[in-house]
Amino acid sequence: MTDAQTPASTEPETTPASRRVSPWWRALAIFLLLVLLIGWAASSSMMTQLQAQIRHAQTRLAEVPQIRQVAVLLDDQQKPAMLATYNPKDGGLLLQRLNDVKEGREDSMQVWAIAGDAAPRSLGVIESKYKTLQMPVSEDALQGVTELAVSAENKGGVPAGASPSLPWLFKGWLVQKSI
């Protein structure tokens, strides 16, 4: 072959444009990926904490007494003598003495439920001399009751089904609390 037979290349060879990614773009992509992962981890952690706080708040709310009925029993001078609150969750009537009247050695204080013109029904005898006590009472025992009263009776109270033998010491309206 002679020089005349080989084509002479006078043009410089052109190489296709480099397809390599700039190192700055790679660093930026890695940085943004890390930011995205950290953001996802933080939001996931925050959601878990929020759910735990909600469960904790729900548990505490369930433990809070849900008082449904309240009565302030007044003495003969119309002064508050006893506060009665009913919490159906505990199934108890919580009685708080507001004055210094106490039973004698041979007496008992008995709590009564009054429903309109019906005969008073005994809810039980106060057996504690403390300022606050809880008396077990079912929710059905307070159905239709409009007033609560306390009478002084002989030690142990009156027999079941009997009416109070002495006048009321304290009496007050039983108010249904809205929830």
Highest mean pLDDT among 18-22, 122-126, 162-166, 175-179: 122-126
Better-predicted residue by pLDDT, 126 or 50: 50
Beta pairing partners, 171: 74, 149
Q: Are 107 and 153 in contact (CB under 8 A)?
A: yes
Q: Quick one: tokens of 69?
A: 């009925």
Query: What confidence score (pLDDT) does residue 7 get?
Result: 57
Query: What confidence score (pLDDT) does residue 6 get?
Result: 56
**Beta pairing class for 168-176 and 69-74:** antiparallel
Give the helix/strand (H/E) hosting 130: none
CA 10 from centre of chain: 91
Which residue bears the tokens 């001399």?
129
- Average the pLDDT over 48-61 and give the result: 91
Q: Is the pLDDT of residue 51 over 90?
A: yes
Report the alpha-carbon distance of residue 20 to residue 51 in Å, rounded: 47
Instruction: Kindly report the number of other CB atoms within 10 A of residue 168's CB atom.
Output: 19
Domain boundaries, the chain: 21-64, 69-176
CATH number given to 69-176: 2.60.40
Report the alpha-carbon distance of residue 32 to residue 36 in Å, rounded: 6
Query: What are the residue ranges of helices labelled H in the chain?
Result: 23-63
CA-CA distances (angstroms) from residue 137 to 3, 37, 59, 91? 121, 58, 25, 6
Q: Quick one: tokens of 113?
A: 């439920």
pLDDT digits (tens, 9 = 90+) for 4-49: 565 555 666 665 666 788 889 999 999 999 999 999 999 999 999 9
pLDDT digits (tens, 9 = 90+) for 75-98: 888 989 899 988 888 788 888 988
pLDDT digits (tens, 9 = 90+) for 106-147: 778 888 888 888 888 888 888 777 788 888 888 888 888 888
